Amino acid sequence: MMVRWFAPNASLRHPRRVAMHTPAPRRFLATAVALLALTGIAVAATPSVGEPAPAFKLQDQDGKWHSLSDYKGKWVALYFYPKDDTPGCTTQACGFRDNVFAFDKAGAVIVGVSVDDVASHKEFAKKHGLPFTLLADADKAVAKQYGVL
């Protein structure tokens, strides 16, 4: 696809007018390069398969503290979601709820993490009958450790 940076109007073909439009591709390119650089930083911070998962210590919906070491020797389905009680996040959580017996049978525990607070998690778990742990990552530190944000 070819993009023209000047209008067919003869008055806009003046070199000064055309020159006013030429920085746009450079700005776009600079923005794209900056975004790619930031993406590279985020990808570099993401844990790789086979490496130990980053440690954490967060409170659940009942105020109890949990750390990754609490689950040593177990399979953990650690999932991150943006916000309690939103349509997509509720569907995801209820999907885990509806399949909790399959996870139990496989010897895995389900742990959800979002940036909501303990009180929000408590209400969300109660409202939807979620039988698993929801951890509050209000400062987003764990989400950043795992490369989610």
Cβ pair 91, 46 in contact under 8 A: no
- Residue 6, H or E segment: none
58 vs 30, 62, 120, 124, 139, CA distance in Å? 39, 11, 14, 17, 10
Per the annotation, the verdict on 94 as an active-site residue is no
User: Are 110 and 133 in contact, with CB atoms under 8 Å apart?
Assistant: yes
Q: Is 130 exposed, middle or buried (0-12, 13-18, 19+ CB in 10 A)?
A: buried
Query: Which of 89, 113, 115, 134 is labelled catalytic?
Result: 89
Active site residues per annotation: 89
